[in-house]
Amino acid sequence: MMWLTRSQACSSRVRHPAVASRMLVSSRGSAWLAFINFSSMQTVHVILNRLSAFLVFAFCSHGIHAATVTKLQAHYRDGQVFLAWQNVTATGQAYKVYRSSTPFTSADQLNSTTYIGQVRDSSSKNLRRSRLEQMPIYFRWQPNGEPLGSNIGLYVVTCTETGLFYYAVTVMDLASGVEDKTLLSGKNTLINPVSETVAFPLPVWQDSVVWSNGDVVHYYAQFGDNRQNVYRKPFNNVGSFGYNFFQIRRGQAERYPLFVFLEGLQKNAIKGNGLDPFDTLSNCIILSLDDWIPYPDGYHEEAGKSTGWVGYHTGYDIYVSDNPIPTSGVVMAYTQHRIIHTIEWARNYLPVDTTKVFLVGVSTGGLGALITAALVPEKITGVYAIAHPTALKSGDGWHQQLWGTASTNLKTNVPDMSNLNDSLRIFDLMNIKKLFMKNYHRSLPHIWCVHGKQDATVGWSDKPSFYDTAQLYKMPAVFFWDRRKHNGDEAKWLDTETLIPYQQLALNVAYPAFSNCSVNGNPGNGKKNDGDAFGTINGLLAWSEVSETKCSFSVKLYLKDYVVGGQLQANQPTSCSADVTLRRLQAFKAQPGRTIYWYNYDASGNLVQSGTITSQQGVPHTVPGVQISKAGNRLELKFGTCLSREAEPEGLEATLRRYGGGWQLVVSTAQPQDALIRFTDPWGRLQQHQEIFLDAGTQHIALEFPLPSLYVVELQVGQQRWHWKVTE
């Protein structure tokens, strides 16, 4: 029997019985005819007609997709297995990939336990860059290799265990859902296994171009799938997909500050929406990440969708437009997984100063940057976010397909840092105000944000309450606003006036966070014509000369000139008061319950303020109402032995007495002190020691001895010591 093409089979009417008879005989010989009763020619005609109709129906229903992929090959590199093959000629196919520790010899092995994922037609094509540049661009699967051909399929597997593994690739027709499970050794299955090792997956260099400003831009593909290992979490829920980012390296340095842009692949990542200062930033490495999924809405430059720099539900299919709205299950932070993995790659494999990692985002990218900073604050030094929303909502049907509805508020896979036994809900994860509240106790990066009162894209109405939340929770945040639109038109502040002070910030240096500053502007009630047309929250305050020890902290605070649009504003403030919260402390970490003494000295060294605060578990140290002038003030905090400026503390008395059935140490001190209690035996051998903190006044300390014996009790405060012999 000759194979018909799909078009021939589906367009043909039932052939003449004689023709059908010849086809059957040529295909199967007399065996087919043995089932036919030739006593009636009419009967023969009826049977042959029905058989012919059945054959045509079978061709049209199931499609002719018996052809399998060929030339399957694989290589392992950097914790991933790269599979490539020659596609079938038909389109509208899914290529399903299977993995096993034994060779594939039977279709029974193609099941849910060996299936790992799928790709679609043109899996070797860089769909995102092809649409942006309106020309076909194909992936390289090796850094120094040639781009793959248009007829080649590509799948990249994240290795999850060490061992030898075989692979098979099958073809499924998307229209009918029929999968051809034919196995051809050496064609769509591997004859030899791949030796795999779990390792950190690395991106693959694709090409480099020179921009008009002289930047050499290196484009990379980051291949991720639905699997995870100890080095990274899954990037999607379907299978292999290539994600894009680029790298720019400027200047000559042993270690560079790293700036991670969440803004796309084009030049607007650096020169769009008011980011001009970064166009001339020197001695740095810039990474620009992309948030894109291949939503089927054409091949134009704007085709595709974003995930809000967050992720989507585990049941969402990135290749279709009519996903159901989920009512249960989990929303996975797939995009955040990828952002964090890229940052980790840069920290580990590029000459990056890991104490200086900054996130920069415009619009939704700004929100994504703030979310990343809240998820991995220990890796992020600061965030500069421009014209960003404070929250994302599923207002339309498509976003509901991604995340579900607000009333359902599905769980994510992101831990709730305020309750580690639970995970965040999706609309809490995408709400910066709620993230601030839940991360109040953590050492968050410094945050600088710029907004516009005429921003019709992300709105203005929620920004004043956003500022209030940051103030309430003592966040390290600085805000600027004016009457700019979303694209930066009608901006009053210059970019250089709102730029985060990246040079003085570092992960290993503490800094003050300001709140309730008396010279803050008035953003109004959320209506664009209410409050100040332009202004800042905390933007007039600055600091320098941070110094820390185990029991002391010092920082210089000062008030800056009020300059907007390059113009010195009238009625310049000369002083202000503000609450000062210590963030990202390195050494100054008082135990809960300790009294911390603070002192505020003016530029001449005169004490202008002093007071005490009490350290609390999980609560940053905040000094209220600190006076700050343009000339500068020095704020000092101390506890324990750092309090005394003299060599010997004064007003110390100590006695040991019987109390009930044991012993009690009574200590009086005029000021807080650290102390040490030791128990030794009569031969001077140490039996036990205990560090304590003495508040000012008289304290009674009960002593507990290890065993009944003869002891020498020693109390040491500064350089003073007391000794008592005790029989217990």
Q: Let me know: does 102 contact 96? Beta carbons within 8 Å.
A: no
Closest by Cα among 39, 2, 40, 38 to 20:
2
Q: 469 falls in which pLDDT band (50, 70, 90)?
A: very high
Least-confidence region, from 55-59, 440-444, 551-555: 55-59
Residue type, 18: A
Q: Let me know: does 306 contact 291? Beta carbons within 8 Å.
A: yes
pLDDT digits (tens, 9 = 90+) for 292-305: 999 888 888 888 99
For 693-706, the DSSP string reads EEPSEEEEEEE--S
Q: Let me know: does 433 contact 465? Beta carbons within 8 Å.
A: yes
Mean pLDDT of 216-237: 96
pTM of the model: 0.81
Q: How far apart are CA 389 and CA 375, in angstroms?
A: 18
Residue 443 predicted with pLDDT over 80? yes
User: In sequence order, what E strands does 91-151 have?
Assistant: 93-100, 115-120
Mean pLDDT of 573-583: 96
* Domains contained in the chain, CATH given: 6-62 (no CATH), 70-196 (2.60.40.10), 204-508 (3.40.50.1820), 542-643 (2.60.40), 653-727 (2.60.40.10)
DSSP SS3 for 640: helix
Position 274 scores a pLDDT of 55
Q: Let me know: does 139 contact 131? Beta carbons within 8 Å.
A: no
Closest by Cα among 249, 441, 236, 201 to 336:
236
Position 165 scores a pLDDT of 98
Paired tokens of 374: 């809240």
Distance, CA of 620 to chain centre: 24
∠ CA(720), CA(726), CA(728), 5° rounding? 140
Handedness of CA 567, 573, 579, 580 (dihedral sign): positive
Q: Let me know: does 253 contact 215? Beta carbons within 8 Å.
A: no
Q: How far apart are CA 407 and CA 404, in angstroms?
A: 8
Backbone φ/ψ region at 476: left (φ over 0), alpha (ψ -120 to 50), beta: beta
Q: How far apart are CA 203 and CA 683, in angstroms?
A: 65
**At 498, which helix (H) or strand (E)?**
helix 495-498
Residue carrying the six token digits 């599979």: 83
Mean pLDDT of 362-389: 96
pLDDT digits (tens, 9 = 90+) for 617-668: 889 999 999 999 999 999 999 987 676 543 344 568 888 888 777 888 888 8
Position 590 scores a pLDDT of 86
For 188-255, the DSSP string reads TB-SS-EEE-------EEEEEEE-TTS-EEEEEEEEE-S--BTTB--S-SSS-EEEEEEEEEES--SS
Residue type, 275: L
Residue 404 predicted with pLDDT over 50? yes
DSSP SS3 for 564: strand
Paired tokens of 472: 């309430």
Handedness of CA 499, 504, 508, 510 (dihedral sign): negative
Residue 273 predicted with pLDDT over 70? no
Q: How far apart are CA 175 and CA 265, in angstroms?
A: 33
Closest by Cα among 720, 713, 711, 705 to 668:
720
Q: How many CB atoms lie within 10 A of CB 500?
A: 21
DSSP SS3 for 271: helix
Beta bridge partners of 569: none
Q: How far apart are CA 399 and CA 198, in angstroms?
A: 35
Least-confidence region, from 129-133, 318-322, 538-542, 692-696: 692-696
Sheet of strand 575-583, all strands in order from the earlier edge strand to the far edge: 511-515, 575-583, 622-629
